Amino acid sequence: MSINLSRITLGFWRANEWNYTLQQLNTLVSQSIELGITSFDHADIYGQYGCEAIFGNILKNNSSIRKQIQIVTKCGVKLLSPQFPETQTKHYDTGKEHILISVDNSLKNLSTDYIDLLLIHRPDPFMNADETAGAFYELKKSGKVLHFGVSNFLPYQFSMLQSRLDFPLATNQIEVSVLCTEHFDNGNVDYLQEKRVSPMVWSPFAGGKVFWENSEQANRVRNVLNELAYKYQVGIDAIANAWLLVHPVNFRVILGSGKIDRIKSALRGIEIKLTHEEWFKIWIASKGNEVP
C-alpha cells in the first residue's frame, strides 16, 4: 500500500521560531486541513530537537485530527546538543539501534503511536544498508512506522537501500525550485519518475531567494514569474509552485511558512496549469540559455 500525501505538505522545521501559542498552532493546523493540507513534515533534529514536541502538543490538545493527517519525520543526523552530551562530533548514524531509538523519541515527542512516513535524513557514507533495512522491517512489523523513504539521496543511493527491501521506498525528499534544478541534471527526477516514486520537495522558493535575491539568475527568473503572475492573477509564489506541481514526476511540495495568508497564496499554484512553453520559459530563465 502506497502512502497518500497531500500535494502540499506543511513543514514544521521553523515551528520554534514562530512563537505561537497553542491556540494559534491549533488554528494553523485546522485551517491547513480545511485547505486540503493533510501532511505535516518534521525531523527529530528540527529546532535543536524541539519542533516535534511543539506539534505533539497540538495532538495532545486535539487528538481527533490524528486520523485526518499524515505525519512525516526524519532521522539519521546526530547534532551537538545538550540533550545528547555523549555526541562530540556532528555526524550521521543510520544504524539499526539509532533508528529504533530515534523513532521511539519521535513517537513520544509527537504524541502519537505511529508515524506515517519515516525518512533517512541524509545519505550516510558509513551506511550499512542491511542494518538500516533491518530497522525498517522491525518498525514496520511493530506498527510504529507505516511507510519509509529517504531524503537528499542520489539515484544510486536510493537504489542501494531499495535493494535490501521487499517493499518500495515511498519517496525521496529533495531540494527543487525554479532556482535549484540540480536534481534534473543528476538524474534524480528521471530515476524517480521511472520508479513511479513521487518526490517531496523542500525549499520550493530557494530559501526565499525567489523573492529577494539580487543575482542574474534570480532576476531573470523573477521577471518571468512576474509576467506569468500577471497573466494568472496570482503571486509569484503560486507560479513557482505551479512550475513544480505541473511536472509529470508528481512533486509533493513542502511549505515552511506558519502564516496562513502565505500558505493560501502558495496553494493557488495547484489551480494553475502552466503550458508546456511557459514551463520551459521559466527553465530557460533559470539556466540562463536556450535549450540546445
Residue 21 sits in a domain of what CATH number?
Answer: 3.20.20.100
- 58 falls within a domain: yes
Amino acid at 23: Q
pLDDT of residue 83: 87
The pLDDT score that the predictor gives to residue 246 is: 98
pLDDT tens digits, one per residue of 56-98? 999 999 999 999 999 999 999 999 999 899 999 999 999 999 9
Asked whether residue 240 is domain-assigned, the answer is no
The mean predicted confidence, pLDDT, of the chain is 97
Residue ranges making up the domain that contains 149: 8-170
Classified as helix, coil or strand, 195 is: coil
Does 1 have pLDDT greater than 80?
A: no
In the numeric block, which cell numbers belong to residue 134? 533491518
Can you give the pLDDT at residue 2? 76
- The predicted pLDDT at position 139 comes to 98
Would residue 28 count as lying in a domain? Answer: yes
Catalytic residue among 46, 114, 137, 156: 46
Please give the span between the terminal C-alpha atoms of the chain, in angstroms, as a whole number.
Answer: 41
Q: How confident is the model over 138-191, as pLDDT tens digits?
A: 999 999 999 999 999 999 999 999 999 999 999 999 999 999 999 999 999 999
Number of domains in the chain: 1
What is the percent of the chain with per-residue pLDDT over 70, rounded to a whole number?
Answer: 100
pTM comes to: 0.96
Instruction: Look up 46 and say whether it is catalytic.
Output: yes
Strands 91-92 and 77-78: antiparallel
Percent of the chain with pLDDT over 90: 98
**pLDDT 10s digits, 99-137:** 999 999 999 999 999 999 999 999 999 999 999 999 999
Task: Please state the φ and ψ torsions of residue 180, each to the nearest 5 degrees.
Answer: -125, 100
Position 275 in a domain: no
